Amino acid sequence: MATLPFSATSAQSMSFSHSKFILGFMGFDRITHNPEMFLIRTPRSSYSRRKFSVKNVASNQKQKLKDSVKQEGGIAGDLGTFIPDSASIASSIKYHAEFTPSFSTEQFELPKAYFATAESVRDTLIINWNATYDYYEMMNVKQAYYLSMEYLQGRALLNAIGNLELSGAYAEALRKLGHDLEDVARQEPDAALGNGGLGRLASCFLDSLATLNYPAWGYGLRYKYGLFKQHITKDGQEEVAESWLEMGSPWEIVRNDVSYPVKFYGEVTSGADGSKQWVGGENVVALAYDVPIPGYKTKTTINLRLWSTKLAPEEFDLRAFNAGDHAKAYAAMKNAEKICYILYPGDESLEGKTLRLKQQYTLCSASLQDIIAHFERRSGEPVKWENFPEKVAVQMNDTHPTLCIPELIRILMDVKGLSWKKAWDITRRTVAYTNHTVLPEALEKWSLELMQELLPRHVEIIRRIDEELVHTIIAEYGTEDLDMLKQKLKQMRILDNVELPDSVAELLFKSEENSAVVPADEIESSVEENKPTAEEDESGLDTENEKGVTVDEAPKLPKVVRMANLCVAGGYAVNGVAEIHSEIVKSEVFNEFYKLWPEKFQNKTNGVTPRRWIRFCNPDLSKIITKWIGTEDWVVDTEKLVTLRKFADNEELQSEWKEAKRRNKIKVASFLKEKTGYFVDPDAMFDVQVKRIHEYKRQLLNIMGIVYRYKKMKEMSLEERKIKFVPRVCIFGGKAFATYVQAKRIVKFITDVGATVNHDPEIGDLLKVIFVPDYNVSVAEVLIPGSELSQHISTAGMEASGTSNMKFAMNGCIQIGTLDGANVEIRQEVGEDNFFLFGAQAHEIAGLRKERSEGKFVPDPRFEEVKAFVRSGVFGPYNYEELMGSLEGNEGYGRADYFLVGKDFPSYIECQEKVDEAYRDQKRWTKMSILNTAGSFKFSSDRTIHEYARDIWGIEPVVLP
């Protein structure tokens, strides 16, 4: 426990020191040494005054400022000339401990030390943030805006001070104050703003955008309780609300002056001039919270703006409250606030679906209002709206922000007074879409009825876009072959199972009785293509819009809005996130759109930031890489990692590499003991599969392979086991969506197997199975550096990309996997001999499912042996009939092994035997590890962002002077 000697005199002194610390960063040469008064003597630049709200700048003023910057050395002087030392940092920390209190003043314990330290770092980030956006404002640069429902950031403290190159100074300052930096950093909870790869990708992108000096903002929602905190009990996974904001977040800056109205329900009225107004309904306010995102070794600090919702004061029913009807008065407040309570609220009920749609619209509406306000402020008068796409690029991360398209049109038409033609043209040149799924049944769809009720004006606009699209299709293909045309319309329309507009119907049918409406059954395709996916049954396969597989036809097909089709029609670019994924997008998912607009489609293979995912989380390995490459430039130029290839056989490097890996394994072993109570041997192979729990990711294949391994061990003598099997610690982690019953069964199965295996004295340290609870970024930062084998074993053709595979490869972890997502490219770069490949390929999957439906599949005897072993009750009393039954039969929902676990099981266990063989040869294994790191050069998010900036957004780096 540390105690700070506070007094009036020391408070004055530290206040002065803290101000000196801040003013030094701001670029002032001298300040008085009177602790009671701070007088600015000589600013380095006429533009050095910090501004907390940016004023409108006319073009001639901008030119004067540009000239001023050139002549006088830039905004706020040269920020790089003041580098705080440990003494000034310690003063800053003490200042915040005293004057920005989140805790009582008596003691300086770890939680308080964390907040004070983070607030000290935030001071620097705010200075850089202001300088960055003052400069962007002045230069009126084109800016990219990244909209995502998720940001999986992880802890910010070590990442921020690492990017600022202040790790050593902060460590020394905290030592002086009685604390260790690592201990302080562990007090930070992970920000509960995301769940899986979608959110982590968004956070990696923000890091790279800042590091590469690209002008950009991120937009998201500020979830009060996140997805959930996962507890593992005897019953499997249990969910409780996240508490990451319980003590507040020192990183966020609430902008009480930045808020926008967001409307739901109501009605649309028409003016005499044909203009439309959306009136009445339910009104909430979206309030901005900013999170500064620093670049690595650069002054650039960009912004993540998160929206929180609240009730406008005028909407509060004071009359009802004073009349004693508190519930009625409080209802509107709760309705507004709950929009940002939970990430992906369960959508089995109408209320849940409504809440999800409200979330998506809130993100789109508030963000676009903000973006337009930025544009207007920078443009001056008069605003030239035709220039909007020249200054703004909006990237939709998956289909969640699809409502950006009709919302931008609504604002341009109804608020700014533009015509449909201009608004539609501007939108199509502004918005771009990243696709994250290859499953047609997983593409997001919304009930037209629900959307009509919640967003009536947007439905009008979507109908207009659909009509435009239909006319485009007819113009492209003509009306000679009506059957072909109907099929095109069925596949491509935004509105599914909805009558064609009258203007279109009369082109297709000459007879009077068919001139107004095309009957739905005449343009329907097969039952398989129209199987219902909007409603989720017990399987819970709806997690982040990944729907289950349904084969029963609904009596009446629902009218839906196909959000992905709207994205493709309303945007100017569509990209997949791995080479194989992008090809499937073009050849299958959006094949008809690709034929119509081939120029829209691109590939942008995902990447991960090498700062967080190796430089900061694996310092031991980073030092070795720097030593052998001869420079630390690989942290921002990962192509330099290729240099390691020529040293892969060097015994000295291999020795250093193995030692670094073992130190990381010891950290993992300590972590597992703390989190689960299990002790593991750090000399065993650490075999890891950590990712969202989902049937297509096939954690079930992994655990069934472990069950087979365990059964074979039990049938052998101790000597035979040691000869046959390499000792393994099999580590799982990940969350199953709260209503995804099958995924939760898999979690329960893993933990039951672990409970049996880990307490079996005959097996001892030869096999351990551990499920790490509440997997998140901070857990990943511990596990990944100590991992030796990483499993990426999804059914081929079903994983869009994956990014954890890139993080593992970057840290020298060898992978076992299918040819799916980015695995294909990783295997190409690390070398086929350094990747353990098994399983069916993407082009075979449809045929294998057809073979199964025809009753031609013959399961491997080893697979049947494992199922029988599970059913024998060896892993406890839980009834696994439903789980095992899902792998059996030839057809039917929840059966027939849709994800081909049984089909790939033989090649999987045979491949695992090759893994054991390779691990016994530690020289070979270490070489493979080195070559995995060397081959991961392609998978930096820096490379991905360069490609987005060049090929999609059309933005250039902007380096502060």
**pLDDT tens-place string over residues 598-621:** 999 999 999 999 999 999 999 999
The structure tokens listed for 897 are 């092994």
Percent of the chain with pLDDT over 70: 86
The structure tokens listed for 365 are 């509406």
Burial label for 460, CB within 10 Å (0-12, 13-18, 19+), is middle
Mean pLDDT over the full length of the chain? 88
pLDDT at 29: 38
pLDDT tens-digit map of 1-26: 455 544 444 444 555 455 555 555 44
Q: Is 631 a catalytic residue?
A: no
User: Looking at residues 99-118, what average pLDDT do you find?
Assistant: 86
Query: What is the rounded CA–CA span in Å between residue 760 and residue 28?
Result: 68
The structure tokens listed for 386 are 């035709």
428, 612, 640, 691: the catalytic one is 691
Q: Is 803 a catalytic residue?
A: yes
Largest CA distance in the chain: 94
Q: How confident is the model at residue 682 (pLDDT cuts 50, 70, 90)?
A: very high
The structure tokens listed for 126 are 């705010």
Q: Is 692 a catalytic residue?
A: yes
The structure tokens listed for 398 are 């998956």
Residues with Cβ < 8 Å from 442, sequence gap 6 or more? 533, 545, 546, 547
Q: How confident is the model at residue 525 (pLDDT cuts 50, 70, 90)?
A: very low
Position 301 pLDDT exceeds 90? yes
Per DSSP (E only), the strands in 311-404 are: 392-397
The structure tokens listed for 64 are 């004067």
Helix/strand/coil for 792: strand
pLDDT at 83: 79
pLDDT at 380: 84
Query: What is the rounded CA–CA span in Å between residue 129 and residue 788?
Result: 39
807, 827, 849, 852: the catalytic one is 807
Whole-number Cα distances in Å, 736 to 352, 638, 711, 741, 796: 18, 34, 27, 8, 21
Query: What is the rounded CA–CA span in Å between residue 961 and residue 959?
Result: 6
The structure tokens listed for 425 are 């043209």
Query: What is the rounded CA–CA span in Å between residue 312 and residue 308?
Result: 12
Contact 364, 410 (CB under 8 A): no
pLDDT at 866: 98
Cβ-defined contacts of 233-239 (< 8 Å, 24+): 235/748, 236/744, 236/745, 236/747, 236/748, 236/751, 237/735, 237/736, 237/744, 237/747, 237/748, 239/738
The structure tokens listed for 859 are 């399961």
Whole-number Cα distances in Å, 14 to 19, 31, 87, 595, 833: 8, 15, 11, 67, 60
User: Looking at residues 143-154, what average pLDDT do you find?
Assistant: 97
Per DSSP (E only), the strands in 46-186 are: 143-147
Domains along the chain with CATH numbers: 86-343 (3.40.50.2000), 664-939 (3.40.50.2000)
Contact 197, 941 (CB under 8 A): no
pLDDT at 369: 98
Q: Is 431 left (phi over 0), alpha (psi -120 to 50) or beta?
A: beta
**Least trusted range by pLDDT, from 120-129, 234-243, 538-547, 573-582:** 538-547
Quick one: which of 209, 221, 252 has its CA closest to 358?
221
Beta-bridge mates of residue 445: 562
Quick one: which of 801, 900, 792, 817 has its CA closest to 580?
801
Query: What is the rounded CA–CA span in Å between residue 347 and residue 546?
Result: 13
Helix/strand/coil for 755: helix
Residues with Cβ < 8 Å from 268, sequence gap 6 or more? 276, 277, 278, 279, 456, 457, 460
pLDDT tens-digit map of 650-670: 999 999 999 999 999 999 999
The structure tokens listed for 527 are 């039952």
Whole-number Cα distances in Å, 654 to 64, 93, 626, 650, 938: 58, 42, 15, 6, 23
Q: Is 691 a catalytic residue?
A: yes
pLDDT at 834: 98
Position 870 pLDDT exceeds 80? yes
The structure tokens listed for 689 are 């599969």
Query: What is the rounded CA–CA span in Å between residue 101 and residue 50?
Result: 25
Measured from the Cβ of residue 599, the count of other Cβ atoms closer than 10 Å reads: 8
Amino acid at 355: L
Position 524 pLDDT exceeds 90? no
pLDDT at 715: 96
Strand-pair category, 495-496 with 560-562 = antiparallel
The DSSP 8-state label assigned to residue 512 in this structure reads: G
pLDDT tens-digit map of 302-334: 999 999 999 988 888 888 888 888 888 888 899
Contact 403, 458 (CB under 8 A): yes
Which helix H or strand E contains 293, and what residues bound it?
strand 282-294
44, 531, 697, 735: the catalytic one is 697
Q: How confident is the model at residue 502 (pLDDT cuts 50, 70, 90)?
A: confident
Q: Is 436 a catalytic residue?
A: yes
Higher pLDDT, 10 or 529: 10
Strand-pair category, 560-562 with 573-576 = unpaired
Look at the block and give the residue holding tokens 């049918």.
509
436, 493, 694, 744: the catalytic one is 436
Contact 174, 180 (CB under 8 A): yes
Position 625 pLDDT exceeds 70? yes
pLDDT at 381: 85
Quick one: which of 768, 805, 764 has its CA closest to 668?
768
Contact 237, 249 (CB under 8 A): no
437, 550, 803, 933: the catalytic one is 803
For the whole model, what pTM was predicted?
A: 0.89
User: Looking at residues 360-373, what average pLDDT do you find?
Assistant: 98
User: Looking at residues 540-554, what average pLDDT do you find?
Assistant: 40
pLDDT at 532: 36
pLDDT at 436: 94
Position 755 pLDDT exceeds 60? yes
pLDDT tens-digit map of 828-843: 999 999 999 999 999 9
- Tallying the residues shown for the chain, one arrives at 961
3-state SS string for 815-856: EEECCCCCHHHHHHHHCHHHEEECCCCHHHHHHHHHHHHCCC
Q: Is 946 a catalytic residue?
A: no
Helix/strand/coil for 260: strand
pLDDT at 70: 45
Percent of the chain with pLDDT over 90: 78
User: Looking at residues 392-417, what average pLDDT do you find?
Assistant: 98
pLDDT at 413: 97
Quick one: which of 712, 732, 734 has its CA closest to 724?
712
Query: What is the rounded CA–CA span in Å between residue 126 and residue 613?
Result: 25
